[in-house]
Homo-oligomer: A and B are copies of this chain.
Amino acid sequence: MRDPRAIRCTYYLESEIEPHKAAAIMAGEQSSGTFLPVPGESARIRERHAARVVDVQELGACRPSLPSRANPEKVRAALVTVDFPMENVGTDIATLQTAIAGNLFELGELYACRLQDLALPEDFIAAHPGPAFGIEGTRKLIGGVQGAMVGTIVKPNVGLSEEEFRLVVRDLAMASIDLIKDDELMTDPAYLPLERRVAVATEEIRAAEQVTGHPTMYAFNITGDLAGLQKRHDLVVEAGGRCVMLNVPVMGLPALAWLRSFAEVPIHGHRAGLAASMRSKGLGMDYRVWQQLARLAGADQLHASGLGSKFYEPDGEVAANVLSLLDPLGQTVTPLPVLSSGQNVTTPGPTFEAVRSTDLLMLAGGGVAAHPDGPGAGVRSLRQAWAAAVDGVPLNTAAEQQAQAGDPALLHAVQAFGKGA
């Protein structure tokens, strides 16, 4: 029977030694491993604090995925389930990460060590607030927007002067876009400080809303030193900003959780740098694990690449990652999956087919800004592409229909961004 206080982890391991033994070494290292002879107490500690290997499925021989001190021709692969006693960890996220994704990656006996799945005890989840806004809270702040949300990134991502920046934001806000975000590289540079960006963007968005009636959300990147994090957050809120952004992997999950403790607006969680510990299949952790930790720490919106993107994950993997964000996690509010990179009018179709949901934020860069008829047409074309996807209307058909009805935005987008364009 499953122990309700156990933190259950599934690892892919490779080892020269017998997989059960390799799993036991790893579990020992990450819990009550190296024993001093403490007379009469070892048994008690082992019983109460040792991580337990509850299942080992051997997967056969393979070449080693990772380098180590030795260089064997073949190793034995296995899928291993380990239960960590929650008592070792308490409810702290950094301690959890240390236990389930810490020194174990260094073990010389292992030639692959990949945390593929995580099932947390209800008590652990309940100790964290999770997202304060998530999907529904984000929608509410964007005027109750329905369906898939359309956003974009300010480009060029670095180097804009204040006046250039103003014009970019103005165009996008006047296009009734749902969300504009800073590039992850844009934090608080001397040539365009956060304070000025916040002032200019909130001013332009307010002015556009008077015209369009649509309250565009701007995700201001407040990544930077922790001493100034709250000040930067407050700067955004005091100016009437409705979202802050954090580069979560470089800031750390504890920084996200801390921001969550005082944030008054949704937190847009960027994943820049995450691939460093995710892309090698024999090392690090799967997205479906990381996203649980980021949700517990309070991210309202979370990046997950995009179908058809320029990033490494194949579409099936992207879709699975997006769906993992929509999986329930205790009683926490569901975060908004953010799709980005290479997104345009051709991607809503495959995306909806794969995830069957419009609880998504699709960030299109060129798809908005480089639309031949301007950003307004860019946004409109993406909304029309989403409507077609949900209605099961082929993209080209929808484009023709819209054009015949007098709006060629989608047709022009298909011509500009479609396959063979």
Q: A: which residues have CB within 8 A of B? A: 30-38, 41-42, 44-45, 48-49, 65-69, 87-90, 92-95, 97-99, 101-103, 105-110, 155-161, 164, 168, 184-185, 187-191, 223-227, 247, 250-255, 257-258, 261, 272-277, 279-285, 305, 309-314, 341, 365-366, 369-370
Across the interface, which residues of B come within 8 angstroms of A68, CB to CB? Answer: 312
Task: Report whether A95 and B370 are in contact in the complex, using a CB–CB cutoff of 8 Å.
Answer: no
Which of chain B's residues has its CB closest to A258's CB?
Answer: B226
A225 and B156 in contact (CB under 8 A), knowing A68-B312, A108-B312?
A: no
Task: Report whether A45 and B156 are in contact in the complex, using a CB–CB cutoff of 8 Å.
Answer: yes
Across the interface, which residues of B come within 8 angstroms of A37, CB to CB? Answer: 370
Q: Which of B31, B89, B254, B280 contacts A66 (CB 8 A)?
A: B280
Interchain nearest-CB distance for A85 vs B (Å):
9
Q: Kindly report how many copies of this chain are found in the complex they form together.
A: 2
Across the interface, which residues of B come within 8 angstroms of A369, CB to CB? Answer: 36
Q: Which of B97, B160, B227 contacts A250 (CB 8 A)?
A: B97
Once bound together, how far apart are the Cα atoms of A67 and B278, in whole Å? 11
Interchain nearest-CB distance for A316 vs B (Å):
11
Q: Which of B89, B158, B273, B310 contacts A108 (CB 8 A)?
A: B310
Across the interface, which residues of B come within 8 angstroms of A247, CB to CB? Answer: 94, 98, 102
Across the interface, which residues of B come within 8 angstroms of A261, CB to CB? Answer: 227
Once bound together, how far apart are the Cα atoms of A168 and B252, in whole Å? 33
Across the interface, which residues of B come within 8 angstroms of A313, CB to CB? Answer: 69, 106
Which DSSP category, helix, strand, loop or mixed, fits chain A's interface?
Answer: loop
Across the interface, which residues of B come within 8 angstroms of A365, CB to CB? Answer: 34
Q: Which of B35, B48, B164, B277 contacts A277 (CB 8 A)?
A: B277
Task: Report whether B310 and A109 are in contact in the complex, using a CB–CB cutoff of 8 Å.
Answer: yes
A36 and B95 in contact (CB under 8 A), knowing A226-B255, A253-B250?
A: no
Task: Report whether A189 and B275 are in contact in the complex, using a CB–CB cutoff of 8 Å.
Answer: no
Q: Which of B95, B159, B223, B277 contacts A95 (CB 8 A)?
A: B223
Across the interface, which residues of B come within 8 angstroms of A250, CB to CB? Answer: 94, 97-98, 101-102, 252-254
Task: Report whether A257 and B226 are in contact in the complex, using a CB–CB cutoff of 8 Å.
Answer: yes
Interchain nearest-CB distance for A128 vs B (Å):
10
Once bound together, how far apart are the Cα atoms of A314 and B309, in whole Å? 38
Once bound together, how far apart are the Cα atoms of A97 and B270, in whole Å? 13
Which of chain B's residues has its CB closest to A37's CB?
Answer: B370
Once bound together, how far apart are the Cα atoms of A279 and B107, in whole Å? 10
Task: Report whether B157 and A33 are in contact in the complex, using a CB–CB cutoff of 8 Å.
Answer: yes
Task: Report whether B185 and A87 are in contact in the complex, using a CB–CB cutoff of 8 Å.
Answer: no
Most interface-central of A103, A184, A225 (chain B CB within 10 A): A103
Across the interface, which residues of B come within 8 angstroms of A35, CB to CB? Answer: 155-156
Which of chain B's residues has its CB closest to A35's CB?
Answer: B156
A156 and B32 in contact (CB under 8 A), knowing A279-B66, A279-B67?
A: yes
Task: Report whether A187 and B69 are in contact in the complex, using a CB–CB cutoff of 8 Å.
Answer: no
Which of chain B's residues has its CB closest to A224's CB?
Answer: B92
Task: Report whether A223 and B282 are in contact in the complex, using a CB–CB cutoff of 8 Å.
Answer: no
Across the interface, which residues of B come within 8 angstroms of A252, CB to CB? Answer: 250-255
Which of chain B's residues has its CB closest to A97's CB?
Answer: B250
Q: Can you list 13 A-B contacts with CB-CB less than 8 angstroms, sorted by A residue number?
A: A37-B370, A38-B168, A41-B164, A44-B159, A45-B159, A94-B225, A98-B247, A98-B273, A103-B184, A106-B274, A106-B313, A276-B277, A279-B283
Across the interface, which residues of B come within 8 angstroms of A370, CB to CB? Answer: 36-37
Most interface-central of A65, A87, A251 (chain B CB within 10 A): A251
